[in-house]
Amino acid sequence: MTNNNFGEDFYEHVYRVVAEIPEGRVTTYGAIASYLGIASGARMVGYALNKSHKAGIPAHRVLNRLGQLTGRAHFPDDTMRERLQQENISFTEEYTVDIEKHFWNPNEMS
């Protein structure tokens, strides 16, 4: 166990939120952290996703606040970029998507 108030539940919550991101939409580490009540826990979200490789969630839809695919190194080859392009998400740079255009806020969860 850890000395925080979240423990393993925190990761579960992260996975649940990520699983709700609609196709063709993206969100950020910070947005998820904020939604879970930990404004400064963006890094923890990233850490959770790193450990989520077998959770079967669309982790490729989580980017940093600038829309950069900072987690691409954790996917095989260009899997992260390829999946996003397959969802018709537009890029402004080779590894940067139009975050403004596709941003999905966790609070909009249906």
How far separated are the first and last CA of the chain, in Å rounded?
33
Contact status: 103 vs DNA (CB under 7 A): no
Among 26, 45, 84, 89, binds DNA (CB under 7 A): 45
Residues 4 to 23: which contact DNA by CB under 7 A? 4, 6
CB of 10 to DNA, least distance (A): 7
3 state DSSP class of 85: helix
Q: Where are the beta strands (DSSP E) in the chain?
A: 27-28, 62-63, 91-93, 96-97
Contact status: 52 vs DNA (CB under 7 A): yes
Contact status: 44 vs DNA (CB under 7 A): yes
State how far the Cα of 96 lies from the Cα of 76, in Å rounded to an integer: 18
Contact status: 92 vs DNA (CB under 7 A): no
Neighbouring residues of 96: CB distance < 8 A, sequence distance ≥ 6: 66, 67, 68, 69
Residues near DNA (CB under 7 A): 2-4, 6, 28-31, 38, 40-47, 49-50, 52-53, 59-60, 62, 64-66, 70-71, 73-75, 80
